[in-house]
């Protein structure tokens, strides 16, 4: 027996009786026959159900419509009888008004041919008409309508023969076939009927919705059988094409699973697969692999200013530019957003550096988008893998650490991974954890550095935050404040500072206190709500406090920052611009944000004795401040010579070690006299 025999037998044929294709066709024929039989049963049941449901619904509609017609006729008679002088006209049987004003409208409304009017004593209250009645009189049904004549004690009675002429309009309105009124129990069994008043039924030939389908059922079944047969034939003829399409679809799905939809580059999954393959090859041929992690600089600005379509176009152009710079053996992948990876096999450190330099240089050329010309930079982190046993995720982590160092170092630069970066990362994460603990367990404290005038009198103090780590000792703010900004702790840190300063200085009635605020705090929508709450809790006078901001906070014309500074001024706080001269503030910013004081940065003060231009710059700053009626303080004053030259330039308030080092609140109280 051949290998095909079991397949043929499975379809009910003897060995050699036919091919698998004919067996499949017989199976389809059997399925078609079964489907036709099932369809006949289902259609028959459906037709019977539709017919029964239709009859019940029709009877309900007819009963309600007949009652409404009688009620309408009754209302019409009552309205006609209520006409002025109706009683006078009805008193004379020969008065033609009876025919024209009563009989004619009733005939027109009901369609009746025979109608008799009479008056008789009223049996109901004269203000209410008796309901319409249907009676059998003189061998045929009659509709009897009664309406009282107001004030006469009599009623008008209309007797209308319910003959074929009366039923014709009703039948036409409700699509009744051969309607008739019959005594109850005398209607033929095949008629539909509804029981009316007076032992009378309304009967008619029932409508049968299924009748029109019954004649077409053989043709419908024939068409269905033909469709099944044709479908089987088409399935047999197109099986090869369907199989080919499935293979092609699988290939497309596989391509989408391993490629970025926007750029067509390899995606993260494909990049890891490729890196695993390269590492496996390097185990045999001992070749190094360079992993370049790239991140675009200022990409968010493109999205924010030109929109996401421009950002997508820029990503596509970056992908083409990177692909053009790499060899065929290199792999360019997009991890998502504006982050790319280049895998460079058989690469030395020099080769990796050369490729990274080429990439960096290529970004000096602007990108021409449909939305305009844009310039973006790129930060690159590189790791060269000489250990083929390294896990691909660890390789990417190393490149990402180097990329982070590039970003931290000023962007638009190349950084190679060094083992020390791991230690720095662990230190940073440890400091982050310790800082969170210090915030919640009161591990930070405040000191205050006096600002003195030329007479040696304290003009104010600046509140400075300090962190004494239990193991690492005193950690400078220049280290933990940027850490707080990067990790999202800056808002909690700022709230901690305000709480401590307000609690310690609430009773310093004659001393101004300056508090530093980060640009990230000013960009927070909840900043003013927090500050207002603390002002109320500690009952401090905002006019004694000065908010120190840097020039960076004024960049970008951020709406939230602008609103927060405006509300600070409205609350009574004054605004001091710290590190003046080192940023990008303009005269327009100084005026628009209503700055009250500028603080000359310590870098200018430190150069006073060594650089003649420093004095000229400070002189210009002082003149600018005086022209704008701003208070001026010089920071970082450490020698008498510096103070004298600052005084010569017109600056008469100083802050620095020459005057005093930062000190606890208790020492400040002794210095200012409580």
Can you give 243-288 as a three-state secondary structure string? HHHHHHHHHHHHHHHHECCCCCCECHHHHHHHHHHHHHHHHHHCCC
**pLDDT for the residue numbered 585:** 57
* Whether 54 contacts 209, CB under 8 Å: yes
**pLDDT for the residue numbered 428:** 78
Nearest CA to 581 out of 550, 623, 613, 612 is that of: 550
Distance CA(423)–CA(408), nearest Å, equals 16
pLDDT in tens, 270-318: 999 999 999 988 887 777 899 999 999 988 888 877 888 999 999 999 9
Q: DSSP string of 541-573?
A: -GGGEEEEEEGGGGGGG-HHHHHHHHHHHHHT-
- Mean per-residue pLDDT over the chain, rounded: 82
Strands 444-453 and 458-469: antiparallel
- The percentage of residues in the chain with a pLDDT greater than 70, rounded to a whole number, is 86
- Which of 20-34, 155-169, 185-199, 464-478 is the least confident region? 20-34
- Residue 11 confidence (pLDDT) above 50: no
Nearest CA to 495 out of 486, 503, 506 is that of: 503
Nearest CA to 174 out of 68, 67, 61 is that of: 61
Nearest CA to 316 out of 259, 274, 251, 263 is that of: 263
pLDDT in tens, 617-639: 899 989 988 888 899 999 999 99
- Residue 3 confidence (pLDDT) above 50: no
* Whether 649 contacts 454, CB under 8 Å: no
Distance CA(650)–CA(656), nearest Å, equals 17
Distance CA(58)–CA(69), nearest Å, equals 16
**pLDDT for the residue numbered 65:** 83
pLDDT in tens, 233-262: 676 666 666 666 666 667 677 767 788 989
DSSP H or E segment with residue 431: helix 419-440
* Complete edge-to-edge strand list for the sheet that includes strand 377-385: 331-336, 339-345, 289-297, 377-385, 414-416
Q: Hey, what are 73's tokens?
A: 């006729």
The listed range with the strongest mean pLDDT (171-180, 181-190, 406-415, 550-559) is 406-415
**pLDDT for the residue numbered 564:** 92
**pLDDT for the residue numbered 525:** 92
- Residue 656 confidence (pLDDT) above 90: yes
Residue with the larger pLDDT of the pair 497 and 91: 497
**pLDDT for the residue numbered 125:** 58
- State the pLDDT confidence band at 5, using cuts at 50, 70 and 90: very low
**pLDDT for the residue numbered 4:** 37
Q: What is the dihedral of CA 641, 644, 646, 651, to 10 degrees?
A: 150
**pLDDT for the residue numbered 20:** 53
Mean pLDDT of 51-56: 73
The listed range with the strongest mean pLDDT (113-117, 191-195, 215-219, 559-563) is 559-563
Distance CA(372)–CA(411), nearest Å, equals 23
- Determine the straight-line distance between the first and last CA of the chain, rounded to whole angstroms: 113
Residue with the larger pLDDT of the pair 544 and 6: 544
- State the pLDDT confidence band at 527, using cuts at 50, 70 and 90: very high
Distance CA(437)–CA(139), nearest Å, equals 107
CA torsion through residues 38, 41, 46, 47, sign = positive
DSSP H or E segment with residue 659: none
- Give the residue carrying structure tokens 């197109």: 238
- Residue 45 confidence (pLDDT) above 90: no
**pLDDT for the residue numbered 386:** 86
Nearest CA to 415 out of 292, 590, 235, 564 is that of: 292
Distance CA(669)–CA(674), nearest Å, equals 5
pLDDT in tens, 172-223: 887 788 888 888 777 777 787 888 877 788 888 876 655 555 566 677 767 7
Helix, strand, coil abundance in the chain, percent, nearest 5? 55, 20, 25
Residue with the larger pLDDT of the pair 187 and 446: 446
- Give the residue carrying structure tokens 């973006």: 376
Mean pLDDT of 422-440: 83
Radius of gyration of the chain (CA): 49
- Which of 38-47, 238-247, 482-491 is the least confident region? 238-247
**pLDDT for the residue numbered 505:** 93
**pLDDT for the residue numbered 584:** 57
* Whether 77 contacts 129, CB under 8 Å: yes
Q: DSSP string of 594-631?
A: T--EEEE-HHHHHTTTT-HHHHHHHHHHHHHHHHTT-E
* Whether 143 contacts 123, CB under 8 Å: no
CA angle 99, 103, 109 (to 5 degrees): 145
How many residues are listed for the chain in this entry?
674
Residue with the larger pLDDT of the pair 99 and 233: 99
Strands 115-121 and 154-161: antiparallel
Mean pLDDT of 144-154: 79
Strands 377-385 and 631-635: unpaired
- Residue 652 confidence (pLDDT) above 50: yes
* Whether 187 contacts 195, CB under 8 Å: no
Distance CA(578)–CA(445), nearest Å, equals 22
Distance CA(454)–CA(518), nearest Å, equals 30
The listed range with the strongest mean pLDDT (94-103, 336-345, 415-424, 574-583) is 336-345
SS3 call for 173: helix
Q: Any idea what DSSP says for residue 595?
A: -
- State the pLDDT confidence band at 414, using cuts at 50, 70 and 90: very high
| Distances 486 to 71, 247, 457 between C-alpha atoms, Å | 84, 49, 39
Residue 408: alpha-carbon gap to chain centroid: 33
**pLDDT for the residue numbered 669:** 84
pLDDT in tens, 373-406: 899 999 999 999 988 888 999 899 899 989 988 8
């Amino acid at each position: 027996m051949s290998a095909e025999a079991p397949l043929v037998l499975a379809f009910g044929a003897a060995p050699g009786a036919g091919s698998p294709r004919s067996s499949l066709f017989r199976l389809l024929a059997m399925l078609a026959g079964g489907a036709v039989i099932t369809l006949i049963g289902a259609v028959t049941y459906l037709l019977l159900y539709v017919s029964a449901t239709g009859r019940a619904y029709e009877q309900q509609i007819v009963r309600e419509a007949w009652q409404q017609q009688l009620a309408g006729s009754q209302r019409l008679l009552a309205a006609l009888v209520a006409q002025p002088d109706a009683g006078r006209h009805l008193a004379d049987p020969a008065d033609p008004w009876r025919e024209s004003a009563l009989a004619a409208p009733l005939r027109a409304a009901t369609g009746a041919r025979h109608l008799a009017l009479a008056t008789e004593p009223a049996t109901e209250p004269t203000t209410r008409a008796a309901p319409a009645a249907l009676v059998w009189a003189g061998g045929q049904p009659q509709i009897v309508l009664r309406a009282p004549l107001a004030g006469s004690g009599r009623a008008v009675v209309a007797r209308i023969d319910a003959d074929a002429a009366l039923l014709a309009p009703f039948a036409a309105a409700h699509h009744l076939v051969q309607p008739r009124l019959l005594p109850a129990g005398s209607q033929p069994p095949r008629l539909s009927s509804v029981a009316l008043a007076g032992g009378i039924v309304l009967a008619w030939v029932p409508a049968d919705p299924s009748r029109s389908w019954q004649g077409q059922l053989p043709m419908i079944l024939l068409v269905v059988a033909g469709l099944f047969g044709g479908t089987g034939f088409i399935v047999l003829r197109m099986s090869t094409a369907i199989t080919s399409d499935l293979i092609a679809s699988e290939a497309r799905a596989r391509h989408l699973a391993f490629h970025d939809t926007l750029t067509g580059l390899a995606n993260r999954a494909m990049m890891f697969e490729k890196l695993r393959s390269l590492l496996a090859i390097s185990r045999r041929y001992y070749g190094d692999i360079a992993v370049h992690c790239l991140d675009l600089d200022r990409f968010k600005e493109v999205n924010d200013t030109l929109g996401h379509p421009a950002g997508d176009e820029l990503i596509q152009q970056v992908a083409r530019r990177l692909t053009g710079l790499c060899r065929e053996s290199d792999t360019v992948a997009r991890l998502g957003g504006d982050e790319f990876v280049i895998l460079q096999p058989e690469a030395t450190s020099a080769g990796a550096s050369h490729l990274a330099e080429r990439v960096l240089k290529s970004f000096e050329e602007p990108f021409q988008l449909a939305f305009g010309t844009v310039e973006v930079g790129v930060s690159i982190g590189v790791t060269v893998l000489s250990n083929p046993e390294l896990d691909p995720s660890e390789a990417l982590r190393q490149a990402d650490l180097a990329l982070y160092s590039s970003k931290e170092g000023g962007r638009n630069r190349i950084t190679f991974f060094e083992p020390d970066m791991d230690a720095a990362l662990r230190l940073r994460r440890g400091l982050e954890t310790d800082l969170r603990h210090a915030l919640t367990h009161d591990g930070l404290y405040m000191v205050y550095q006096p600002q003195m005038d030329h007479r040696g009198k304290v003009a104010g103090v600046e509140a400075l935050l300090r962190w004494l780590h239990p193991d690492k000792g005193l950690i400078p703010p220049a280290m933990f404040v940027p850490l707080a900004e990067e990790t999202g702790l800056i808002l909690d840190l700022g709230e901690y500072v305000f709480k401590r300063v307000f609690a310690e200085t609430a009773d310093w009635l004659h001393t101004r206190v300056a508090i530093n605020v980060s640009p990230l705090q000013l960009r927070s929508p909840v900043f003013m709500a927090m500050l207002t709450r603390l002002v109320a809790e500690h009952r401090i006078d905002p006019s004694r406090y000065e908010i120190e901001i840097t020039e960076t906070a004024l960049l970008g014309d951020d709406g939230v920052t602008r609103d927060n500074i405006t509300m600070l001024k409205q609350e009574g706080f004054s605004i001091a611009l710290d590190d003046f001269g080192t940023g990008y503030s303009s005269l327009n910013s100084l005026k628009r944000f209503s700055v009250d004081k500028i603080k000359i940065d310590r870098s200018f003060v430190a150069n006073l004795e060594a650089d003649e231009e420093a004095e000229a710059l400070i002189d210009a700053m002082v003149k600018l401040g005086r022209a704008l009626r701003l208070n001026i303080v010089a920071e970082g004053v450490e020698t008498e010579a510096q103070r004298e030259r600052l005084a010569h330039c017109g600056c008469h308030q100083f802050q620095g070690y020459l005057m005093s080092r930062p000190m606890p609140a208790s020492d400040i109280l002794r210095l200012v006299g409580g």
